[in-house]
Structure 1
Amino acid sequence: NNPAFCTAVSNDFSYDDIFSRELEALGNEGDVLVALSTSGNSKNVINAIDYAKINNIKVIGFSGESENLMNGKCDIAIKIPSKNTPRVQEAYKLILHIGQWTLFLDRDGVINKRLPDNYVRSIEEFEFLGGVKEALFWFSQYFDRIFIVTNQQGIDKGIMDHEDLYLIHDYLLSEVEKSGGKIDQIYYCPHLSIEKSYYRKPNPGMAIMAKEDFPEIEFASSIMVGDSYSDIVFGNKL
């Protein structure tokens, strides 16, 4: 949105430097850079991300679904599930101009590190993924409601109990709040996968619970972010 700056940098340096030079002037350690590139390979965007990483600026990247350079460089990489340029860019407009929208988040693998073939059973085993707290601060500025919906069958397996999970979630909420973000509610399903519970993802039971607790939310104005196929199906059922 600054044609004079872009022209000056392009003439005196290179078009590849238009964003990194501006970030050099305005960015500070602890800031969050939001990077948009449909291909994920735009040189001027990549240069800005590289500058941000060197200077301890967190990066949230938006791109299309194809593998690209941005994915491995961003603290949070959000890939729009399309290779169609207009659709990807329409999604940017949707996400970045959100009004009364709701964000549903999976927990393990999205908020915290997933333990392979195991369950997070204590605060000591719970580790936030890099950049997540900063991302939640940013998302809190745009989403009216943010919920976590998580399958936790370790409870019905007898590996952990409800109290263990309450302690973990109290810690999660406290840390997010300290970082300036918010989570309005955490919903979990303790049921075994073989039970095909209505409340276990990919079924929409936890979203229905959220709707009962927060009647103002509209599923048509909701986004689901997860790391598994069941999360995709859950989102499609909203």
Structure 2
Amino acid sequence: MRAVFLDRDGTIIEDMVYLSDPERLRFLKGAVEGLKRLYSAGYELFVVTNQSGLKRGFLSLERLLVIHRKLDLLLRREGIIVKKFAFCPHHPNERCRCRKPETFMVKRILKEYPDIDLEESYTVGDKYTDVLLGQKVGTKTILIGDRDAGKARPDYIARDLLQASEIILKKG
């Protein structure tokens, strides 16, 4: 099974610092079309997101789940199924195993979906931590936007999720 592990904020939706109101959820340009192309081509989609706003008190777990349900509903209306939304609630200063670039979220997904072929899969996100996560688990990586990836060297750079989908579909 081929999969795409996707960051949420700044990749699929607008990065609003600590989004806590589901009504403010906005797709980034090209995101829905890119996801639609990937899903139609047979890629399984997984969202893996750091959400330290939980630990910082900017939103509750219930509120985060409402946001993810709304995002899921909006994508389903477009014919796109996200298999799982995984998140890390911890503060960046905590030493947890799940905050990207740590691999716990992906490893948990792999336990549930053991047929995922990591060598044929991608990790896509707008931060160096997304690139490092993909490298640690053995996927190809795409950095969205023109942020400095630091020491992480993505396999590809795309301006948005639509262009990332074009790269994935071309390269396989």
Name the TM tier (shorter chain). 0.7 to 0.9
Q: 2:55 aligns to what SS in structure 1?
A: coil
Report the aligned-residue RMSD.
1.1
Q: Is the 8 Å Cα contact of residues 122 and 168 (structure 1) preserved in structure 2?
A: yes
Q: Is the 8 Å Cα contact of residues 204 and 237 (structure 1) preserved in structure 2?
A: yes
Determine whether 1:204 maps to 2:114: no
Corresponding residue for 2:11?
110
Tell me how far apart the structure 2 counterparts of residues 233 and 151 of structure 1 sit (CA, whole Å). Answer: 14
| Paired-residue identity, % | 33
- C-alpha deviations, 1:149-201, integer Å up to 9, x for none? 00000001111111001100001011111111121110000011101311010
Tell me how far apart the structure 2 counterparts of residues 197 and 214 of structure 1 sit (CA, whole Å). Answer: 23
Corresponding residue for 1:141?
40
List structure 1 runs of 4+ shifted beyond 6 angstroms.
none
Corresponding residue for 1:165?
64
Unpaired runs of 5+ in structure 2? 138-172
Give the TM-score normalised by the residue count of structure 2: 0.76
- AA partner of residue 139 (structure 1): L
Q: Is the 8 Å Cα contact of residues 137 and 182 (structure 1) preserved in structure 2?
A: no
Q: Per-residue deviation at 1:220?
A: 2.1
Q: Per-residue deviation at 1:218?
A: 2.4
Corresponding residue for 1:130?
29
Q: 1:121 aligns to what SS in structure 2?
A: coil
Show the 5 A alignment for 1:33-182.
100-115=1-16, 118-182=17-81
Tell me how far apart the structure 1 counterparts of residues 136 and 100 of structure 2 sit (CA, whole Å). Answer: 10
Tell me how far apart the structure 1 counterparts of residues 95 and 24 of structure 2 sit (CA, whole Å). Answer: 28
Tell me how far apart the structure 1 counterparts of residues 56 and 64 of structure 2 sit (CA, whole Å). Answer: 14
Larger Rg computed on CA atoms: 1
Q: Per-residue deviation at 1:114?
A: 0.6
Q: Per-residue deviation at 1:144?
A: 3.5
Q: Which has the higher contact order (CA 8 A, sep 6+)?
A: 2
- C-alpha deviations, 1:130-153, integer Å up to 9, x for none? 221122111102244110000000
Tell me how far apart the structure 2 counterparts of residues 106 and 221 of structure 1 sit (CA, whole Å). Answer: 18
- AA partner of residue 204 (structure 1): T
Q: Per-residue deviation at 1:221?
A: 2.2
- C-alpha deviations, 1:99-143, integer Å up to 9, x for none? x3110000000010012xx21101122111122112211110224
- AA partner of residue 153 (structure 1): S
Give the TM-score normalised by the residue count of structure 1: 0.56
- AA partner of residue 76 (structure 2): E
